[in-house]
Amino acid sequence: MRKILFLSFIFFYSSVLLAQKNLIPMPQHLEISKQGSFHLKGNLTVGVGAFETQAKYLADQLVGLLQSKVTLKKHGTILFHKINREITDQHDYYELKINAKEIVISASTEDAAFYAVQTFLQLVEENQSKGSIPALEIKDYAKFKYRGALLDVSRHFFTVDEVKLFLDYLSRYKMNKFHWHLTDDQGWRIEIKSHPKLTAIGAYRAVTDDVKDSKLTKDGRYGGFYTQEQIKDVVAYANKLQIEIIPEIEMPGHAQAALAAYPELSCTGGPFQVGTTWGVMDDIYCPKEETFALLEDVIDEVVTLFPSHYIHIGGDEAPKTRWKTCAHCQEMIKKEGLKDEFELQSYFIKRMEKYINAKGKDIIGWDEILEGGLAPNATVMSWTGIEGGIHAAKAGHDAIMTPVSHMYLDYYQGNPQSEPLAFNAELRLDKVYSFNPIPKELNAQEAKHILGPQANMWTEYITNFKHVEYMLFPRLLALSEVAWGTSKPEAYKSFENRVIHEFAYLDRKKINYSKAIFELNG
């Protein structure tokens, strides 16, 4: 009998301990106390201390979760304190202390208070059925200040509500940058009042097999765009989730939708159709004055819509085929004393950077902006590999690491035979988890320029939002831990157990996800 009691005590105790360890991302420090627990039953009071917005947000979330009354008061049993702490490489520091009497959240920034709340909410969900959370202490911070994900809304269009869901998913796992890929060959998705044809023509394309069952326009075209009011609404929504939205306006390549609307901005004059096939198109913006004039008009409106410090101006996959044979381009190369078309692209990007810098913003560009000379204040998004990021950091520029090898969410996450059609490459959960955003080639000083990782959801093969979810989960969980800085590749198995545990949450929320990890496990 005694033995049974003892064993059941061990079982109970270890399940209590384990339950606290299902957090994603795992905090930097977590200590579970052997005694005491905070009761979730009855009326909870949240103290509107140092972080009023977060206190209100928490109260709302708790009402939804616990279906019980939660009162906001000056002093509550859940308290918010402000603390000062500035340590390089430790962003958004917070402490979460839970004992039998109270819950104390101490945070250094508004974002940090929000992350403390996310951690707390995960703990509440976890322990809800038991009615109490065991006493514990968490000291936590993010290793990387940039924790990003891209959604391509050009290849296939996603509604405002779907974009908001994407933001919800990011925020649960403490991701803080949303890279909104708003323009590409297959669709221009942002209303620009000074150039209405960008959306009137550029936002819609001919119907192809993959979208024949989607909602079409009355005249049978596929597509859509966000009005400026909708953009403001999404930006405000993201702001509440402590997410910065970085808009991307592609140039000089991936511009076919814009050229369909304004063919005079090309080197040949067109005409062009909004793209219906994938890949890299030869027709790109021609570096003429009228092109710069239009792009500057676009930037004028973009900067008023997005408070973000960054504007992403693309720069990737811009073939120089047309520029080589265009008399105007060759003249320009001579006039500006440039060596070749790569330097002409560099001229293009530098000129746009100057315009954007004058608006008090900085540019980000894909790693091809290194070719022909990097613009003076540019941040490089390293996608073709990690080399672009290494090069940028060594040259004293900031870099964001999003290499195809570890960060491409449009790749298969399991056996292609049992997965939906995807880009012809593979990226499994363990590979995402193993990513170290700081290349070993960098010394400590250079490594400071690595802002963090980003994963990219390109949507050539993704026609609906359920499929976006499927490609996002569970790889987002690995990304979040890499970005937060608590991934330990050697402990992948225990991470995988937490992922499996999180599947129950995804099921409850009816979020679609891939079960490819079970297939791997046999």
* Phi, then psi, of 381 in degrees rounded to 5: -100, 110
Which residue spans within 316-470 are E strands per DSSP?
Answer: 362-366, 379-382, 399-401, 411-412, 423-426, 450-457
**Number of helical (H) and strand (E) elements in the chain, helices listed first:** 19, 21
Choosing from 94, 120, 323, 423, the residue that interacts with ligand TNX (CB under 6 A) is 423
Question: C-beta of 151: minimal distance to ligand TNX in Å?
Answer: 12
Q: Catalytic: 254? A: yes
Q: How far apart are CA 432 and CA 435, in angstroms?
A: 6
For 246, how many CA atoms within 13 A lie in the half-sphere containing its CB? Answer: 25
For 294-314, letters b (16+ CB in 10 Å) and e give bbeebbebbbebbebebbbbb
383 is a site residue for ligand TNX (CB under 6 A): yes
Site string for ligand TNX, 265-304 (x = CB under 6 A): ----------------------------------------
DSSP-assigned letter for residue 27? P
Tokens of 233: 């609404």
Q: Which of 92, 95, 152, 184 is catalytic?
A: 184
Of the pair 96, 455, the CB lying nearest ligand TNX is at 455
Of the pair 458, 484, the CB lying nearest ligand TNX is at 458
For 400, how many CA atoms within 13 A lie in the half-sphere containing its CB? Answer: 27
Of the pair 317, 362, the CB lying nearest ligand TNX is at 317
Question: C-beta of 427: minimal distance to ligand TNX in Å?
Answer: 10
Choosing from 146, 366, 435, 465, the residue that interacts with ligand TNX (CB under 6 A) is 366
Of the pair 180, 408, the CB lying nearest ligand TNX is at 408
Question: 212 exposed, middle or buried (CB, 10 Å; 0-12, 13-18, 19+)?
Answer: exposed
**Omega into 271 within 30° of 0, i.e. cis?**
yes
Which residues in the 164-183 window bind ligand TNX by CB under 6 A? none
Which residue, among 480, 146, 150, 483, has the nearest Cα to 314 in the 3D structure?
Answer: 150
Q: Which of 91, 179, 181, 254 is catalytic?
A: 254
Question: C-beta of 510: minimal distance to ligand TNX in Å?
Answer: 28
Of the pair 204, 423, the CB lying nearest ligand TNX is at 423
Of the pair 262, 458, the CB lying nearest ligand TNX is at 458
Site size toward ligand TNX (CB under 6 A) is 9
Question: C-beta of 185: minimal distance to ligand TNX in Å?
Answer: 8
Give the residue carrying structure tokens 């991701």: 175
Q: Which of 300, 301, 317, 419 is catalytic?
A: 317
DSSP for 282-315, written as a single string: S------HHHHHHHHHHHHHHHHH---SEEEEE-
Question: C-beta of 382: minimal distance to ligand TNX in Å?
Answer: 10
Which SS3 state, helix, strand or coil, does residue 238 take?
A: helix
Query: Cβ(115)–Cβ(173) under 8 Å?
Result: no
Alpha-carbon distances, residue 30 vs 11, 113, 131, 137 (angstroms): 21, 17, 21, 6
Site string for ligand TNX, 90-119 (x = CB under 6 A): ------------------------------
Q: Which residues are registered as beta bridge partners of 512?
A: none
Q: Regarding beta strands 362-366 and 379-382, do their DSSP bridges make them parallel or antiparallel, or are they unpaired? A: parallel
Of the pair 95, 460, the CB lying nearest ligand TNX is at 460
Of the pair 92, 368, the CB lying nearest ligand TNX is at 368
Question: C-beta of 177: minimal distance to ligand TNX in Å?
Answer: 16
Of the pair 317, 387, the CB lying nearest ligand TNX is at 317
Which residues in the 459-488 window bind ligand TNX by CB under 6 A? 460
Q: Catalytic: 179? A: no
* Phi, then psi, of 434 in degrees rounded to 5: -85, -5
458 is a site residue for ligand TNX (CB under 6 A): yes
Question: C-beta of 86: minimal distance to ligand TNX in Å?
Answer: 34
In degrees, rounded to 5, the angle at the alpha carbon of residue 447 between the alpha carbons of residues 445 and 450 is 135
Question: C-beta of 392: minimal distance to ligand TNX in Å?
Answer: 15
**Omega into 252 within 30° of 0, i.e. cis?**
yes
513 is a site residue for ligand TNX (CB under 6 A): no
Question: C-beta of 459: minimal distance to ligand TNX in Å?
Answer: 8
Q: How far apart are CA 345 and CA 366, in angstroms?
A: 13
Of the pair 185, 353, the CB lying nearest ligand TNX is at 185
Q: Catalytic: 317? A: yes
Which residues in the 402-421 window bind ligand TNX by CB under 6 A? 408, 410
* Phi, then psi, of 131 in degrees rounded to 5: 85, 5
Question: C-beta of 504: minimal distance to ligand TNX in Å?
Answer: 31
Site string for ligand TNX, 316-345 (x = CB under 6 A): xx----------------------------
103's enclosing H/E stretch is strand 103-107
Q: How far apart are CA 419 and CA 518, in angstroms?
A: 13
Question: Which positions touch ligand TNX (CB under 6 A)?
Answer: 316-317, 366, 383, 408, 410, 423, 458, 460
Instruction: Please identify every residue annotated as catalytic.
Output: 184, 254, 317
